[in-house]
Chain A
Amino acid sequence: MSASVAQIGGGCADAPVLRERGQREVFCGLTGIIWLHRKIQDAFFLVVGSRTCAHLIQSAAGVMIFAEPRFATAIIDERDLAGLSDANDELDRVVAKLLARRPDIKLLFLVGSCPSEVIKLDLSRAAQRLSQVHMPQVRVLNYSGSGIETTFTQGEDACLAALVPIMPRSPAPAGKSLLVVGALAEVVEDQFSRLFAAMGIEDVAYMPPRKSVDLPAVGPGTRYLLAQPFLAETARALEARGAVRLPAPFPLGAEGTQAWLQAAAREWGIGKDRFDAAVAPARARAEGALGKFRNELGGKKIFFFPDSQLELPLARFVARELGMNVLEAGTPYLHRQHLAEELAWLPAGTRLSEGQDVERQLDRCRAEKPDLVVCGLGLANPLEAEGISTKWSIELLFTPIQGFNQAADLAELFARPLVRRMKLAV
């Protein structure tokens, strides 16, 4: 296994992509609120939408969350639609009520939905107006998590992109600073910080921050690493502020994590010895822990349904580090630039698909009899009932999977359904 970033042009770089349009069995961008509202601890997410939106968010987590959530829905009703009440007045009233109940909130997101987009409710103006009313206690921003514009994780992208304009400007002649972009588990952030420090990179910040009042600064000295593959808009917004992306694969698996860290090391001109000294122990530990799973999963056939845009990096990880045979890697959206390194690493011949026609995809899946299917919650049990093992893709967003110390945890997520099937005698 090579630890260096592969040359663009190998693997699947020029591979054809099966593009389909039909029923898409995916969540909309509102779903990201489930993890974002826990990640940014002083933020509140107010969806302006329908009862369907409210029902989606409470259902998508699979379980209801016991603590009072930092999200809610302002449900549009027929009075708002018929013009009997002014939707903006109503929104002001709802926001005032909400903020009175939650004085701990420092940042409020108005989150657009399909109905709010279709009736053209201008939430960016509403956010400006409400910011004027509630600043400095509460800043109000907006983004769209609507299904007509966003698929699942694109909601996080839209949310982070909305934060970029209010990031402080880094002082003019500042040196280089590193920004890690994309929501990560706190334990993973802490591990990365230690590795960067050991390499000699001290000025590291994370986006989104744990508290909205701690937004990192950005400017021409900012070099950023994407921790998640679904951040196209956020990347564009950061670049508009002068930040420069460090191209890298994503930090999944030992190999991916090493290449991701190495992209920063190269930018900072850190020598091979220092880099190796910093990462080698963690990498060796990760590879050791992966060995067991290579035995369990090597040669097994896996099929990815499109869901979170993590599919291609995950397919690369299971193919290269676990020896699995990827039948299809489906993604809702294929960002060629951000995924260039991943595409290069994917074994040549891997079938890539973008978009979805779920019925046709199920036909392909059944015909190929995979050992494991990675799919959404709507498909998992029906496939299990047909005798096909599944892994819920949403768990890959809720579990710390990035970095060296989580490489084996990630492998275990794929192994567990197979172990369980072997174990059960009922």
Chain B
Amino acid sequence: MQLTLWTYEGPPHVGAMRIAMAMEGVHYVLHAPQGDTYADLLFTMIERSKKRPPVTYTTFQARDLGGDTAELFKNAAREAYDRFKPDALLVGASCTAELIQDDPGGLARALNLPVPVVAVELPAYQKKENWGAAETFYQLVRAFAGPHVPPPGTQRNSGARPRCNILGPCALSFRNRDDLREVTGLLASLGIDINVVAPLGARPADLARLGDADFNVVLYPEIAGQAASWLARSFGQKSTRIVPIGFGATRDFIAEVAGLAGIDPATADAACNLPWYSRSVDSTYLTNKRVFIFGDATHVIAAARVASEEMGFAVVGLGTYSREFAREVRDAAKRYGVEALITDDYLEVEEKIAELRPELVLGTQMERHIAKRLGIGCAVISAPIHVQDFPARYSPQMGFEGANVLFDTWVHPLMMGLEEHLITMFREDFEFSASAAPSHLGLHAPRPLPKELVEAATPPAAGATVWAGDAEKELGKIPFFVRGKVRRNTEKFATERGVSTITLDTLYDAKAHYAR
């Protein structure tokens, strides 16, 4: 049993719903108890979808458990087919239905419906949402593209123009709508045709055509990685490895795609404001801003590179809730000399942020809450998805325009250079009091650190080091988000040197010591 306050991912059947919702002509019959229909609102409220998810729930109740839940499932599947006439029926069970073991796949096939039935088994007590999405997409791809796999050794006919599939864009995913438009434009500018985009907007018949492409562009390995490796094995299609988030990654992506397509990458238009904005002198204050990054693997790995190479931040910590991609995230963390935090425990992430005291958090909506509590600026870079992650305006994360968006959204929560100087110089101005908010945070003023977190992050120093009154007062002039760290460092400095009373001089000696 795991104690959970907030979850980063839903159960795996929600992942399956995301695939069904993204596609056209697929209807999902889900064996599930009453109440599981809550998942509809994820799409209708968070994504503001104009249509209900194509999902029929059996919504069984206690009285049905004594009777025939299998019959209930068969009726639901039959009625769903009659009403919605999908091209294919996806069937499965949610967590509770998994326990009653009714075999939705077998039951649905026994109905002899005139459309293909694809059954997905998603172990709800082991796996989570993104895994469920990846598994469902893979099962659908295999079911529909499988019959078209050529015999081993077959050579591909290379067409006149290079052609690719774009795999991964999905429903209820972070900025996928705009990423897809950006990447589609990028590929078009390179002269590469797009065969199929899936799952977003694809019908089962489109999945059957996946083999008619030279290679696959995998935008979100969390969703499409498994399907792409099956396509590689079955059709000999190579996949892209680079996710084009950030200026450098977009350029690398172009080079990679050009290599796969056998074309000249120079044709791509590299107009992007990020490189110059970052070199502009007003950005100097961004140098080595301490940033903590958390989210799904794809966005975290990409964000760390952008933060370090393109914004000039110092990555002081990073992590992911995507356990399936722990290895990749650990490798990325090594590049910045930090240990990756692999967890889906929100409390652990909160503790880490409190301990590291970054100046900026790049995270999910959960970290936005944490950062708000701790009074730290935050930009959201990843799902779990929130209504604010579907902006009305065009706002991709990928490609050159995506890099521009990242620059703007990450710089915005930070204190501007001159404001920072003024606050440091005139700390005693009544509006600059220790608890006053940076002006850009407006009404979302940071509150003082919750007591338990302060205590957790600043354990009393060993020995009997005490603070002299004037030194304690001086400490109060230091911005509160670094005050805990300064206190700790000074106490450590004093203890190491056997200083029992911390004076003003000790404080500044310690400052000089740690500045080196």
| Interface presence of B365 (CB below 8 A) | yes
Interface contact A64-B365, CB-CB below 8 Å = yes
| Interface presence of B432 (CB below 8 A) | no
Chain A 48-75 against B: per-residue CB contact (8 Å), 1 yes, 0 no? 1011101110111011101011001111
Interface residue from B33, B37, B125 paired with A25 (Cβ < 8 Å): B37
CA distance A51 to B60 in the complex (A): 19
Interface contact A74-B2, CB-CB below 8 Å = yes
**Restricting to A53-102, which residues have a CB under 8 Å from any CB of B?**
54-56, 58-60, 62-64, 66, 68-69, 72-78, 80-81, 85, 87, 90-91, 93-94, 97-98
CA distance A54 to B10 in the complex (A): 8
Interface contact A23-B76, CB-CB below 8 Å = yes
CA distance A43 to B255 in the complex (A): 58
Q: Which of chain B's residues have a CB closer than 8 A to the CB of A73? A: 3-4, 7
B interface residue count range (under 10 / 10 to 19 / 20 to 34 / 35 or more): 35 or more
Interface contact B52-A379, CB-CB below 8 Å = yes
CA distance A72 to B7 in the complex (A): 10
| Interface presence of B1 (CB below 8 A) | yes
The interface-forming segment of A26-34, A216-224, A226-234 is A26-34
Interface contact B57-A23, CB-CB below 8 Å = yes
Closest A residue, CB atoms, query B48: A381
Q: Which of chain A's residues have a CB closer than 8 A to the CB of B397? A: none
| Interface presence of B126 (CB below 8 A) | yes
Interface contact B3-A98, CB-CB below 8 Å = yes
Interface contact B57-A87, CB-CB below 8 Å = no
Interface residue from A76, A91, A119, A377 paired with B44 (Cβ < 8 Å): A377
For A59, A60, A76, A377, the residue with the greatest tally of chain B CB atoms inside 10 Å of its CB is A59
Interface contact A382-B51, CB-CB below 8 Å = yes
B13 to chain A, nearest CB (A): 8
CA distance A64 to B52 in the complex (A): 22
A69 to chain B, nearest CB (A): 6
Interface residue from B6, B34, B49, B95 paired with A26 (Cβ < 8 Å): B34
| Interface presence of B435 (CB below 8 A) | no
B27 to chain A, nearest CB (A): 12
Interface contact A376-B41, CB-CB below 8 Å = yes
| Interface presence of A347 (CB below 8 A) | no
A292 to chain B, nearest CB (A): 30
| Interface presence of A148 (CB below 8 A) | yes
| Interface presence of A396 (CB below 8 A) | no
| Interface presence of B458 (CB below 8 A) | no
Q: Which of chain A's residues have a CB closer than 8 A to the CB of B373? A: 66
Q: Which of chain A's residues have a CB closer than 8 A to the CB of B1? A: 48, 74-77, 80, 85, 87, 90-91, 93-94
Chain B 60-78 against A: per-residue CB contact (8 Å), 1 yes, 0 no? 1110110000000000100
| Interface presence of B403 (CB below 8 A) | no
B214 to chain A, nearest CB (A): 39
CA distance A73 to B33 in the complex (A): 18
Interface contact A51-B369, CB-CB below 8 Å = no
The interface-forming segment of A110-118, A180-188, A191-199, A235-243 is A110-118
B133 to chain A, nearest CB (A): 14
CA distance A359 to B9 in the complex (A): 29
Q: Which of chain B's residues have a CB closer than 8 A to the CB of A62? A: 41, 45
CA distance A146 to B94 in the complex (A): 14
Closest B residue, CB atoms, query A384: B50
CA distance A52 to B57 in the complex (A): 14
CA distance A24 to B61 in the complex (A): 10
Interface contact A58-B7, CB-CB below 8 Å = yes
Q: Which of chain A's residues have a CB closer than 8 A to the CB of B334? A: none
Closest B residue, CB atoms, query A75: B2
Q: In the complex where A64-B6, A76-B1, A77-B126 touch, is A378 in contact with B41 (Cβ < 8 A)?
A: yes
CA distance A377 to B42 in the complex (A): 9
| Interface presence of B485 (CB below 8 A) | no
For B9, B39, B372, the residue with the greatest tally of chain A CB atoms inside 10 Å of its CB is B39
Q: Which of chain B's residues have a CB closer than 8 A to the CB of A25? A: 37, 40
| Interface presence of A162 (CB below 8 A) | no
Chain A 271-302 against B: per-residue CB contact (8 Å), 1 yes, 0 no? 00000000000000000000000000000000
A362 to chain B, nearest CB (A): 9
| Interface presence of B96 (CB below 8 A) | yes
Interface contact A380-B44, CB-CB below 8 Å = yes
| Interface presence of B123 (CB below 8 A) | yes
| Interface presence of A385 (CB below 8 A) | yes
Interface contact B99-A118, CB-CB below 8 Å = yes
Closest A residue, CB atoms, query B41: A377
Interface residue from B34, B37, B41, B128 paired with A51 (Cβ < 8 Å): B128
CA distance A149 to B39 in the complex (A): 19
| Interface presence of B295 (CB below 8 A) | no
Interface residue from B37, B61, B123, B372 paired with A66 (Cβ < 8 Å): B372
**Restricting to B7-45, which residues have a CB under 8 Å from any CB of A?**
7, 9-11, 13-14, 33-42, 44-45
Interface contact B2-A26, CB-CB below 8 Å = no
Q: Which of chain A's residues have a CB closer than 8 A to the CB of B126? A: 77-78
| Interface presence of A353 (CB below 8 A) | no
| Interface presence of A402 (CB below 8 A) | no
Interface contact A54-B51, CB-CB below 8 Å = no
Interface residue from B9, B33, B124 paired with A28 (Cβ < 8 Å): B33
Interface contact B59-A23, CB-CB below 8 Å = yes
| Interface presence of B56 (CB below 8 A) | yes
Q: Which of chain A's residues have a CB closer than 8 A to the CB of B386? A: 64
Q: In the complex where A23-B37, A23-B57, A115-B96 touch, is A72 in contact with B125 (Cβ < 8 A)?
A: no
Interface contact A55-B10, CB-CB below 8 Å = yes
Interface contact A147-B125, CB-CB below 8 Å = no
Q: Which of chain A's residues have a CB closer than 8 A to the CB of B79? A: 22, 359
CA distance A175 to B83 in the complex (A): 61
| Interface presence of B205 (CB below 8 A) | no
Q: In the complex where A23-B37, A381-B45, A382-B49 touch, is A148 in contact with B60 (Cβ < 8 A)?
A: yes
Q: In the complex where A75-B2, A94-B3 touch, is A50 in contact with B45 (Cβ < 8 A)?
A: no
Q: Which of chain B's residues have a CB closer than 8 A to the CB of A118? A: 65, 96, 99-100
Q: Which of chain B's residues have a CB closer than 8 A to the CB of A325? A: none
CA distance A359 to B82 in the complex (A): 12
| Interface presence of B5 (CB below 8 A) | yes
| Interface presence of A405 (CB below 8 A) | no
Interface residue from A24, A52, A59 paired with B59 (Cβ < 8 Å): A24
CA distance A97 to B79 in the complex (A): 47
Residue ranges of B at the interface with A (Cβ–Cβ < 8 Å): 1-7, 9-11, 13-14, 33-42, 44-45, 48-52, 56-62, 64-65, 76, 79, 83, 94-96, 99-100, 123-126, 128, 365, 369, 372-373, 386-387
List 12 interface pairs A-B (beta carbons < 8 Å), by A numbering: A51-B4, A52-B13, A56-B38, A75-B2, A78-B123, A78-B126, A80-B1, A91-B1, A147-B35, A378-B40, A378-B41, A378-B44
**Leading 3 A-B pairs by shortest Cβ distance:** A28-B35, A147-B35, A378-B40
